[in-house]
């Protein structure tokens, strides 16, 4: 059962805790973007660029991760 939690993180050079932290860092901001998009849909003057900036930042971070993997 332990392998269920450790095999994949090991393939990317991380412990379970490191992988969980990285995954949560990628999971939480989109949730915030959903909230800001919803508020923006209701009141267009609010959060005009917040969601798109969040998505762009996450894309850059994920792209950097894959670039690091290729090196």
Q: Which residues contact residue 10 at a Cβ distance below 8 angstroms, ignoring those fewer than 6 apart?
A: none
Give the per-residue pLDDT at 20: 95
Reported as a single tens digit per residue, the pLDDT across 17-52 is 999 998 898 888 888 989 999 999 999 999 999 988
Distance CA(64)–CA(31), nearest Å, equals 21
8-18 average pLDDT score: 94
pTM (two decimals): 0.59
Give the per-residue pLDDT at 5: 93
What are the structural domain ranges in the chain? 2-70
Give the per-residue pLDDT at 68: 64
**CA dihedral sign of residues 11, 61, 26, 58:** negative
- Tell me if 50 sits within 8 A of 40, measured CB to CB: yes
Residue 63 has pLDDT above 70, yes or no: yes
């Amino acid at each position: 059962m332990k392998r269920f939690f450790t095999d994949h993180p090991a393939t990317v050079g991380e412990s379970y805790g490191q992988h969980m932290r990285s995954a949560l860092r990628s999971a939480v901001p989109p949730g915030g973007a959903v909230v800001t998009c919803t508020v923006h849909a209701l009141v267009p003057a609010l959060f005009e660029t917040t969601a798109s900036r969040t998505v762009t930042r996450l894309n850059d971070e994920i792209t950097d991760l894959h670039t690091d993997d290729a090196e």
